[in-house]
């Protein structure tokens, strides 16, 4: 054998060959939120001859990779998860570039790739925590709060993740001075994205946007108002911040120490660990924790109307429970949500209310006519009235809608009975709500795009004789003759009446 050939064989046996590029590993994209926290997306990948396997965790979602193509030089992965009876999917494209994983997604197939850079993370980082079995069911005692629907403000509709402590102080200032407090609005509620990390003892801390939550609560209380906060029974919130999973008692005590008066508790990350049929037990844990915290805290369940929450909401200590997905500031969204609430009327009572989501009044996506319909319908539904606009700057017409005392009186009627549909004729609907003392609130709703004449008969309403009538938007008594009342109602508008015996 030639000497050179023997040498090459020897060299091959002792000099390691460079390994082929491999996607296998735990990769993390850390996006700075500029509030002292990072939004982390984890790609736990295993490259095998049969494809790329593993999982993806982004915000509150945890996906198993169900499809893949390609390899290190260019690949796609599709993650799937079940969300109740709905399958969610997410698709990423990427390639390996040295020690970096360049990976991204597209909003639409034809859209440009939104690329991120991932780096290797320690094995196990970002994994979902072990499942804690839900407790046995029992009935949580009524906390005695909000015998009429809660009224206040919530940050999400206008500010989403941009809300700061300064915004909250500004809303408290505005609510205390512009007539809203006098009209009954009292809660200033911070939605998602206030959360920081936990300290060494596991106590939740607020992030840089909210440097001192106790001081903020004191400020709001100093205005004669109350402060609300947000969390999730899952490890992560909707926006991927720290949830209350396995820290329910600890978090409730922290909220009480800060001076919190209201908790919105959003299912979000819990769906990665629990099924809908376990929802009641999971919400019960926080209901117990709030009751034991030593402070009266309104408990608002936010789980989008899943698992027939109206049937068990009071049993977990809930004061209100969402009956629908998120509202948007459009006529289509508001009207669909509001007019779909009819069958839930039997489940509302003092201290326990159906919640078709927060008000969009004043956010600009609807006309004042449509916002009056929004306010009227939510009042007939005995729904929480949580404004979602910027209270520091709103036109007089919007303030008038939000503070109309006669419409608010319908919403705040102490019997707490939710109204229901009396009749439906195409896009024309009549709704009514029983009020204290035998009075009746009646709404003539024109959902069509054209002005319309509408009428309601006393027989339809179960009213005997000719009642006293008051128009709650015009603030004046009106008269009717014969067997009912007729009015011209604008497109997407409402005629809201109060009927009482003469």
pLDDT tier, 108 (very low <50, low <70, confident <90, very high otherwise): confident
Q: Which helix (H) or strand (E) holds 110?
A: none
Q: Is 144 a member of any domain?
A: no
Annotation marks residue 315 as catalytic: no
Q: Is 324 a member of any domain?
A: yes
Is 388 in the same domain as 274? yes
Domain CATH code at residue 243: 3.20.20.70
Examine the pLDDT at 327 and tell me if it is beyond 50: yes
pLDDT of residue 207: 98
Q: Is 193 a member of any domain?
A: yes
pLDDT of residue 84: 84
Q: What mean pLDDT is predicted for residues 369-383?
A: 98
pLDDT of residue 439: 97
Which is the catalytic residue, given 266, 288, 355, 357?
266
pLDDT tier, 20 (very low <50, low <70, confident <90, very high otherwise): low
Q: Are the CB atoms for 115 and 102 separated by under 8 Å?
A: yes
Token pair recorded at residue 377: 């319908």
Three-point CA angle 89, 90, 94, nearest 5°: 150
Domain CATH code at residue 54: 2.40.128
Which is the catalytic residue, given 173, 276, 315, 326?
326
Is 219 in the same domain as 252? yes
Annotation marks residue 99 as catalytic: no
Of the residues 75, 104, 120, the one at which a domain ends: 120
How many structural domains are present in the chain? 3
Is 326 in the same domain as 265? yes
Is 436 in the same domain as 299? no
pLDDT in tens, 341-352: 999 999 999 999
Could you give the CA distance from residue 204 to residue 237 in angstroms, rounded to a whole number?
13
Is 195 in the same domain as 301? yes
Examine the pLDDT at 13 and tell me if it is beyond 70: no
Token pair recorded at residue 276: 């809908």
Of the residues 418, 434, 469, the one at which a domain ends: 418
20 or 377, greater pLDDT:
377
Determine phi and psi for 389, rounding to 5 degrees.
Answer: -100, 180
Closest listed residue to residue 328, CA positions, set 448, 445, 157, 155: 157
Taking all residues of the chain, what is their mean pLDDT, rounded to a whole number?
Answer: 95
Determine phi and psi for 126, rounding to 5 degrees.
Answer: 85, -5
- According to DSSP, the β-strands at 494-500 and 440-446 are antiparallel
Domain containing 463 equals 421-500
Is 370 in the same domain as 425? no
pLDDT in tens, 110-135: 889 899 999 999 999 999 999 999 99
Q: Is 100 a member of any domain?
A: yes
Examine the pLDDT at 283 and tell me if it is beyond 70: yes
Per the DSSP assignment, residues forming a β-bridge with 46 are 53
Q: Are the CB atoms for 39 and 60 separated by under 8 Å?
A: no
Is 335 in the same domain as 478? no
Q: What mean pLDDT is predicted for residues 430-441?
A: 97
- Return the SS3 of 282: helix
Q: What mean pLDDT is predicted for residues 59-74?
A: 96
Domain CATH code at residue 491: 2.60.40.1180
């Amino acid at each position: 054998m030639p000497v050179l050939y023997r040498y090459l064989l020897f060299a091959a046996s002792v000099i390691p060959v460079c390994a082929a590029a491999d996607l296998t590993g735990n990769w993390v994209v850390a996006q700075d939120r500029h509030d002292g926290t990072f939004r982390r997306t984890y790609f736990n990948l295993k490259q095998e001859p049969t494809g790329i396997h593993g999982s993806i965790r982004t915000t509150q979602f945890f996906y198993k990779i169900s499809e893949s193509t390609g390899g290190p030089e260019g690949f796609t992965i599709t993650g799937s998860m079940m969300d109740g009876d709905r399958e969610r999917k997410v698709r990423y494209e990427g390639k390996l570039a040295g020690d970096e994983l360049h990976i991204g997604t597209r909003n639409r197939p034809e859209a440009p790739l939104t690329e991120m850079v991932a780096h290797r993370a320690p094995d196990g980082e970002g994994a979902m925590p072990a499942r804690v079995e839900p407790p046995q069911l029992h009935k949580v005692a009524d906390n005695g709060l909000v015998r009429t629907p809660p009224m206040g403000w919530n940050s999400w509709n206008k500010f989403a993740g941009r809300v700061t402590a300064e915004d909250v102080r500004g809303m408290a200032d505005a609510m205390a001075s512009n007539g809203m407090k006098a009209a009954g609005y009292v809660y200033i509620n911070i939605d998602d994205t206030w959360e920081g990390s936990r300290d060494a003892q596991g106590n939740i801390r607020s992030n840089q946007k909210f440097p001192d939550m106790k001081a903020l609560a004191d400020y709001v209380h100093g205005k004669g108002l109350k402060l609300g906060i947000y969390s999730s029974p899952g490890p992560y919130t909707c926006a991927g911040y720290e949830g209350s999973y396995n820290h329910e008692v600890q978090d409730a005590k922290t909220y009480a120490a800060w001076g919190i008066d209201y908790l919105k508790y959003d299912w979000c990350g819990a769906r990665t660990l629990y099924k809908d049929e376990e929802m009641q037990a999971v919400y019960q844990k926080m209901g117990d924790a709030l009751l034991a915290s030593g402070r009266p805290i309104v408990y608002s369940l936010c789980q989008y109307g899943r698992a027939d929450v109206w049937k068990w909401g009071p049993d977990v200590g809930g004061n209100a429970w969402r009956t629908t997905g998120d509202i948007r500031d459009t006529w289509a969204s508001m009207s669909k949500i509001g007019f779909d609430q009819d069958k839930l009327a039997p489940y509302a009572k003092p201290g326990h209310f159906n919640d078709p989501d927060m008000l969009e009044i004043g956010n600009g996506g609807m006309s004042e006519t449509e916002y009056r319909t929004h306010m009227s319908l939510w009042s007939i539904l005995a729904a929480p009235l949580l404004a979602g606009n910027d209270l520091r700057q709103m036109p007089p017409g919007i303030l008038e809608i939000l503070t109309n005392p006669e419409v608010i009186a319908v919403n705040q009627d102490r019997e707490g009975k939710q109204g229901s549909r009396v009749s439906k004729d195409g896009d024309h609907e009549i709704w009514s709500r029983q009020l204290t003392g035998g009075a009746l609130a009646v709404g003539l709703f024109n959902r069509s795009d054209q002005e319309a004449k509408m009428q309601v008969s006393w027989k339809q309403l179960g009213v005997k004789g000719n009642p006293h009538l008051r128009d709650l938007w015009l603030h004046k008594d009106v008269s009717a003759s014969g067997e009912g009342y007729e009015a011209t109602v604008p497109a997407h508008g409402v005629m809201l009446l109060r009927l009482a015996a003469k």
